[in-house]
């Protein structure tokens, strides 16, 4: 039996073919070369923002066949493919590409985590691929102020300095922009954070991609208002 953070996983609950499924997916070819040395975790910039992100643990879970647990992992959906882990890996394992392969498998199987910190069986927090608006990011990019939204790679620098997050840790600009890029249009429009963003500029000062989150938020609000949405805080 395998012990996770939450429960004991029985051997008969594991999917022994999962690693081969990942290996057959574009980007996942090298997963079985990992021997969980931990170099990736040591270099992960997302882990610097929140230490619960652990690429070594996720790859280990995938190799063991903990398919559902991997799909519901926040790391899989937020991995920014920054390549610093890849540069340090002695086995040449590209974890960003593997995370992308896992996401592709999850989406094909009809599983997408609306809130990656959720309990996966809760259907209210799971969104289907066919409910995503894949053109949403382009709609935002065409709106004045939203032009550089696609430059974001979800590193988390914005979240680390967000004053709204200091008040309430539910507010997460990295997660919000990720939702935009994934096409979660309805959820973006209904997000309290969209309407609470104070345009303080701290996030822009630290963003390595120079993403103008303040202007992007204005652009999204303009689209939302044109489509009949109003602040849920009223």
pLDDT, averaged across the chain: 83
Among 130, 157, 176, the domain boundary falls at 130
Residue 207 and residue 125 share a domain = no
Q: How far is Cα 12 from Cα 14, in angstroms, rounded to an integer?
A: 6
Provide the pLDDT for residue 120.
Answer: 40
Q: Strand, helix or coil at 81?
A: coil
Residue 126 and residue 24 share a domain = yes
Indicate whether 2 pLDDT > 50: no
Domain assignment present for 232: no
Residue 146 and residue 102 share a domain = no
Q: Provide the β-strand partners of residue 3.
A: 8
Provide the pLDDT for residue 169.
Answer: 75
Instruction: Tell me the pLDDT tens digit for each residue of 196-231.
Output: 887 777 888 888 888 998 899 999 999 999 999 887
The domain that holds 136 is classified in CATH as 1.10.1060.10
* C-beta of residue 85 within 8 angstroms of C-beta of residue 40: yes
Residue 96 and residue 40 share a domain = yes
Residue 141 and residue 42 share a domain = no
Among 112, 130, 148, the domain boundary falls at 130
Instruction: Tell me the pLDDT tens digit for each residue of 88-124.
Output: 899 999 998 899 899 889 888 877 654 544 434 444 4
Residue 210 and residue 197 share a domain = yes
Banded model confidence at residue 28, pLDDT cuts 50, 70, 90: very high
Buried residues in 23-36 as b, exposed as e (16+ CB within 10 A): bebebbbbbbebee
Burial of 72 (0-12, 13-18, 19+ CB in 10 A): buried
Among 90, 112, 130, the domain boundary falls at 130
Q: How far is Cα 108 from Cα 14, in angstroms, rounded to an integer?
A: 20
Q: Which domain holds residue 44?
A: 9-130
Instruction: Tell me the pLDDT tens digit for each residue of 180-197.
Output: 988 999 989 988 889 888
Ranges 28-37, 100-109, 157-166: which has the least confidence: 157-166
Domain assignment present for 1: no
Q: Of 47-51, 119-123, 135-139, where does the model show the most confidence?
A: 135-139
Residue 109 and residue 172 share a domain = no
Domain assignment present for 218: yes
């Amino acid at each position: 039996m395998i012990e996770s953070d939450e429960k004991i996983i029985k051997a008969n609950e594991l999917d022994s073919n999962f690693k081969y499924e990942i290996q057959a997916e574009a980007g996942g070819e090298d997963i079985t070369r990992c021997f969980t040395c931990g170099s990736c975790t040591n270099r992960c910039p997302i882990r610097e923002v929140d230490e619960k992100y652990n690429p070594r643990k996720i790859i280990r879970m995938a190799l063991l066949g903990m398919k559902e647990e991997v799909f519901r992992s926040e790391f899989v959906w937020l991995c920014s493919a920054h390549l610093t882990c890849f540069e340090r890996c002695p086995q040449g394992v590209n974890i960003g590409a593997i995370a992308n392969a896992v996401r592709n498998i999850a989406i094909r199987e009809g599983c997408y985590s609306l809130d990656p910190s959720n309990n996966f069986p809760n259907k209210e927090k799971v969104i289907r691929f066919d409910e995503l608006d894949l053109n949403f990011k382009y709609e935002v990019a065409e709106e004045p102020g939203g032009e550089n939204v696609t430059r974001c790679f979800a590193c988390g620098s914005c979240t680390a300095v967000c004053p709204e997050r200091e008040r309430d840790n539910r507010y997460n600009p990295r997660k919000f922009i990720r939702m935009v890029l994934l096409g979660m249009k309805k959820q973006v429009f209904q997000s309290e954070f969209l309407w609470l963003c104070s345009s303080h500029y701290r996030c822009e000062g630290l963003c390595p991609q120079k993403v103008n989150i303040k202007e992007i938020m204005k652009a999204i609000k303009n689209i939302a208002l044109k489509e009949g949405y109003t602040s849920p805080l009223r």
